[in-house]
Amino acid sequence: MTQPSPPGTSRQSHLLVQICGYVAAVVLPWVGVVFSIRTPALHGTPVALNFVFVAGITLFTGLGPGLLSVLLTALFFNHLALAHNGFFSLHPQSLLYSIVILAIGAFIAFLCDRQRLTSSELRTALASLQVRTNALMEAQQASCFAAWMHNADTGRIEWADGGAEIFGRPYSDTSVSDDWTNFIVEEDRARVLEAVEAATSVGQSFRAEFRVRWPNGELHWLETRGTPSAANPRIWHGVTIDITDRKNAESALVRSEKLAAIGRLSATIAHEVNNPLEAVINLIYLAKADPNLSAETSDYLQRADQELARLSAIARRTLTFVRSRSAPGPVSVVDTIDSVAAMFQPRCVTRGAEICVTPFRDFSLPIPADDLRQILTNLVSNACDALPESGGSVRIEAICSGGKATITIADNGHGILPENLSRIFDPFFTTKTDVGTGIGLWVSKDLTEKNSGHLSVESHNLPPGFRTLFRVELPCA
């Protein structure tokens, strides 16, 4: 860090410059007059060199030394060039020459002093402007905003230094001035351009929110505000602000409110469903006791009874807001996968699709059977919903290696758009507007993580024939 100068340093420097200026004002006029007299080429303009000295002394040291040099120039010229028989010539013509030298020299001195003061003021103004510019850049970086100026006639926008950073670009990137709208997400671009054109046509302030994708793939929310200049309505000034944190906070608040509402609603529904559910379970129990049932019908009733028992357990857990941990496992992976596949196989057959379970050696997981079944049920159900009208395929694979189990569910459906990949596990986010609730994947991820696992998704960059793959990773027993 540069040490601050002592208080008297500036004053001492100024005094030294003044002393040097007065010394030069005494020495240089004598040198200039003598040199001009002895140089034939300067006889036509005998004091031209002195006027150059006057200008230099005034510009560098001030008006005082400059005027002294003018006075001494007139005296030395009168003495050396005009006074032939004395120290000073009082001849009218000599006096006239001396007065002309004084007048011209004084004019040059005053003119140069004015130039010196103007240059000093300009340097001060430039230094102040630089300080303000640096303060603006620091404020931009600290507040995540960028100032801009737009010319409605040329359509070009000029950003303040560092404005490119709000688009995730390097500090000195000038591409944002060429066409900043290229950085806007395509779905928002038309809306923003319409807002800008409408405001420009009527000369009123405007405000617009839009999304931009940074080079690293992050999606940021920006808000831009502009107003026409009072001096020229065709010139617009404004700022663009990064409001990503605010948008995330708003989304989190809305999500929390939805979760609270769905919690109250779930408790109410679970309470009302529990009684008729028990009645259905009892009726199935009585139906199973009928000796005239075929083996196939008895098997169907047995499956229905198992699913109703699971539904009853879910209802009880919903009422108590606690997930039962009394039976942590182990649970057979083969039995659970086969059961889920058998449940969805008829649904796929009606659409000309199939569920294929890749054979694997059975292993166990130390988690509740209902949790694993619910995770796989949600994932397989989503895979079946995404299948095409014909030729659909869902593949389920499982492996246990190195103390970690990996279960994958892949399908050849329509896939997931890149902009939705980061949101599919958010509660209430769904692309199935007709039948989707946005709860299934969120519940699956929550159950996986509560059992010390991890749920991830891939789309499009998969082996030939498949478009989406969900991967469940859990610790082995």
Residue 43 lies in a domain: yes
Taking the C-alpha atoms of residue 196 and residue 204, their distance in angstroms, rounded to an integer, is 10
Taking the C-alpha atoms of residue 260 and residue 448, their distance in angstroms, rounded to an integer, is 22
**120 plus 27 within the same structural domain:** yes
The secondary structure of 131-175, three-state, reads HHHHHHHHHHHHHCEEEEEEECCCCCEEECCCHHHHHCCCCCCCH
**353 plus 461 within the same structural domain:** yes
Q: What is the pLDDT of residue 453?
A: 93
26: tokens are 């005494």
**77 plus 97 within the same structural domain:** yes
Taking the C-alpha atoms of residue 19 and residue 250, their distance in angstroms, rounded to an integer, is 69
Q: Is the link from the previous residue into 330 a cis peptide, with omega within 30 of 0?
A: yes
| Span between the terminal Cα atoms of the chain, in Å | 61
Q: Which of 322, 345, 379 is the last residue of a domain?
A: 322
Taking the C-alpha atoms of residue 339 and residue 23, their distance in angstroms, rounded to an integer, is 107
Q: Which of 322, 350, 371 is the last residue of a domain?
A: 322
Residue 29 lies in a domain: yes
CA atoms within 13 A on the CB side of 289: 6
**383 plus 471 within the same structural domain:** yes
**89 plus 192 within the same structural domain:** no
pLDDT, one tens digit for every residue, the chain (477 residues): 344 445 456 678 878 888 888 898 889 888 888 888 888 877 778 888 888 999 999 988 889 998 999 999 888 888 887 777 767 777 888 888 889 989 998 999 999 999 988 988 888 888 888 787 677 666 666 667 788 888 877 777 887 777 778 888 887 777 776 677 888 888 888 888 888 888 878 888 888 899 998 888 888 999 988 888 878 888 888 888 888 888 888 887 777 777 777 766 766 676 667 667 777 877 787 788 788 888 888 888 888 888 887 777 776 666 554 444 445 678 899 999 998 898 888 888 888 889 999 988 889 998 988 889 889 988 998 898 888 888 899 999 999 988 899 999 999 988 888 888 888 888 777 877 666 667 788 888 988 999 999 999 998 778 778 999 999 999 987
Residue 477 buriedness (CB in 10 A; 0-12 / 13-18 / 19+) = middle
Residue 4 lies in a domain: no
| Alpha-carbon radius of gyration of the chain | 44
Which domain range does residue 192 map to? 144-242
71: tokens are 């006075």
- Please tell me the pTM assigned to this model: 0.45
Residue 118 buriedness (CB in 10 A; 0-12 / 13-18 / 19+) = exposed
CB 330 within 8 A of CB 451: no
**266 plus 206 within the same structural domain:** no
CB 370 within 8 A of CB 342: no
Q: What is the pLDDT of residue 435?
A: 61
CB 130 within 8 A of CB 154: no
Taking the C-alpha atoms of residue 20 and residue 416, their distance in angstroms, rounded to an integer, is 80
Candidates 140, 153, 74, 138; CA nearest to 106 is 74
CB 150 within 8 A of CB 236: yes
CB 441 within 8 A of CB 382: yes
Residue 309 lies in a domain: yes
**189 plus 69 within the same structural domain:** no
Residue 445 buriedness (CB in 10 A; 0-12 / 13-18 / 19+) = buried
Residue 435 lies in a domain: yes
In Å, the largest CA–CA distance within the chain is 157
**81 plus 174 within the same structural domain:** no
CB 334 within 8 A of CB 399: no
Phi and psi torsions of 213, nearest 5°: -105, 120
| CATH code for the domain of 284 | 1.10.287
**184 plus 285 within the same structural domain:** no
Q: Which of 88, 112, 136 is the last residue of a domain?
A: 136
Residue 1 lies in a domain: no
Single-letter code of the amino acid located at 354: E
Name the domain count of the chain. 4
